A and B are shown apart, each in its own frame.
Chain A
């Protein structure tokens, strides 16, 4: 922990937008077009494709078209009717778009975010701000070109998102900040007290009008603004701390994607294919497999572009993870919203010393429609030093010397190797080799400062960290085989996600110890936990101190 200096009061930041006044507001006027983005592009493409020859004809005067629908209409003298129908359809579409825009309103009060939408079928979504699991600012490519962004407020549960799609880019940035401040309890906590120590420089900024992107006087201004936004997805230097703590060189990123299990599978498939062709099977196999191979290229491409501009940084309101090259996304995870962390190293990465970090959060919905939304990977690939930095962000305060050693031991060690070093884990006994012949010496657990740590696996080295304040329950179990070996297995229950915190083998007596530790620890740290309104906690979080 950092030094407990005299608590410097945070500058009483005024809301940046007047959207948090509890009144109903409307979204960006281009919203319907952006929401139906692909659909619109398809329609326009269809029309252009059909009109191409006619346009060519218009300019070159060649009459080489016969028999297209437009021609038929023209010949039958129904041009007037056709135009009327087209105009009517257009009017209806515009009318529907306008109506849906008008009826789509949202409001943000001190406690909730609420969205109303729908013309015929009205829907109404409300999210409590102290239950916010994350705020995600996504900019799909088309919306980005228009200077719009989508703000998603994630709450727990499947499909439990409140979407504000779309808002002006700048506005979305400001609104994210305001929502996070409201959710953190910062304003409620500080406004009543008259703060004498507020530095004059940090006087409340004047409220920016709701039409934050200023009226562009010329098309040139508009283009410049768009260009600048495109280059710097995080517009607000105050809301986005300058530097990501981790840089991923493109070489490492490409290497990590290439050296994945998927590649192994692909190689095996390729070998199988060659063998089958050599062995004289018909070309049908090739026809069947080739599309898959082409698809895999797309997979590599999307994996790489998605993580190409990865960044992770600490903000006063939590960890901010950004990624995406064309469509960008930047996700803010407030403190205490991470339910489990896994640091792992697939065997192919071992030579390079690369690791990845993934997390469980309560807001991970199963089916996502739009491309890059939230990601469970808070470090796609990084070195040991990167892992340490990311863990410090994800688990603030978990950085005493012992804990550092714990993490390093968990990643690299095992009680067989490095006999000279102290191993802080309580490991599975040697007889566990019957069940885990390769990894038993790495299978162990520890608890330190309200965080349970599980080390396991040798093919893929895993280290799992579960904050006890987030743990949902603990289970120990034993079947006949483990009973003969005087072993048991243990599971820490967390919310759904890529991380499963289970310990496959553990000594029987130790399993009981683990059970008591985890169950009492979970209750105690849940009682001590104040992260639902993180700024109201007694002491300011280290990240906030650092930022001020």
Chain B
């Protein structure tokens, strides 16, 4: 747990100086979002790349197929461009797929679950264990063939909680049991 000033102190103000100075003379400015001293992130199974690749290819085939039908049968030239754009985007996607999957990570901290995802579009989510409403484990056809499962941590919030894809099935189940256990010990209403 990072050493923080006491948030609960009445009248506490944010710890940062107001009007953060322009960063001309900041030591080694890093524009990337990176949590400090979090420890080792748990990564998802490398096999999950396959699931993503198949998904991207199926998607590209469907869209490009539709576009080429429009182009060939109905003489819509714009469909050709759309098809080409989707194809290029999918190929770029495929190239970055392994890195993207490597960027997915989760971490069980003392009182909350951390989740990260994305390289270009990064995001970090923290959800306290006590907020758990239920845990969902789903398996798509390809994931099942590879022995993988997706785990979803659902809270009462409108935005979906945390969804960790591509866990080995046994890992997913043990993680679920662990999370439920943690949530039980830290139960807090809504």
Contact = CB atoms under 8 A, between A and B. Distances in A.
B126 A519 contact: yes
B40 interface: no
Contacts, number: 189
Interface stretch (B61-69, B72-80, B157-165): B157-165
Contact of A449 (B4, B8, B112, B156): B8
B122 interface: yes
A136 B159 CA distance: 26
A49 interface: no
Contact of A446 (B14, B112, B121, B123): B14
Contact of A528 (B8, B17, B23): B8
A104 to B, nearest CB: 29
Contacts of B155: 472-473, 493
Interface stretch (A217-225, A388-396, A479-487): A479-487
Given A483-B31, A529-B188, A477 B124 contact: yes
A150 interface: no
B13 A446 contact: yes
Given A429-B22, A495-B156, A517 B15 contact: yes
Nearest to B159: A493
A523 B111 contact: yes
Interface string A482-521: 0111101001011111001000000111111101111111
Interface string B79-106: 0000000000000000000000000000
Most buried by A among B22, B118, B123: B123
Interface string A522-548: 111111110110000000000000000
A447 B4 CA distance: 13
A495 B31 CA distance: 31
A522 B113 CA distance: 12
Contacts of B125: 473-475
A519 B128 contact: yes
Nearest to A429: B20
Contact of B15 (A156, A480, A513, A524): A513
Nearest to A528: B8
A473 B29 CA distance: 28
A448 B19 contact: no
A365 B189 CA distance: 19
B158 A494 contact: yes
A356 interface: no
A6 B18 CA distance: 41
Given A478-B123, A513-B14, A494 B130 contact: no
A474 B14 contact: no
B127 interface: yes
Interface stretch (A33-41, A196-204, A226-234, A418-426): A418-426
Contact of A472 (B36, B111, B157): B157
A488 B35 CA distance: 13
A417 interface: no
A402 interface: yes
Given A156-B190, A447-B7, A523-B111, A515 B13 contact: no
Nearest to B156: A495
B10 interface: yes
B156 A472 contact: yes
Nearest to B158: A496
Contacts of A19: none
Contacts of A101: none
Contacts of A517: 4, 7, 14-15
Contacts of A425: 14, 18
A51 interface: no
Interface of B: 1-2, 4, 7-20, 22-23, 29-36, 111-112, 118, 120-128, 130-131, 155-159, 161-162, 186, 188-190
Across chains A and B, which 5 residue pairs bring their CB atoms closest together, nearest first? Answer: A496-B158, A472-B157, A477-B123, A493-B157, A519-B126
12 contacts: A131-B189, A362-B156, A415-B19, A429-B23, A445-B14, A472-B156, A473-B126, A474-B126, A479-B122, A495-B156, A496-B158, A517-B15
Interface of A: 130-131, 133, 156, 336, 339, 362, 400, 402-403, 415, 423-427, 429-431, 445-450, 468-470, 472-480, 483-486, 488, 491, 493-497, 500, 507-513, 515-529, 531-532
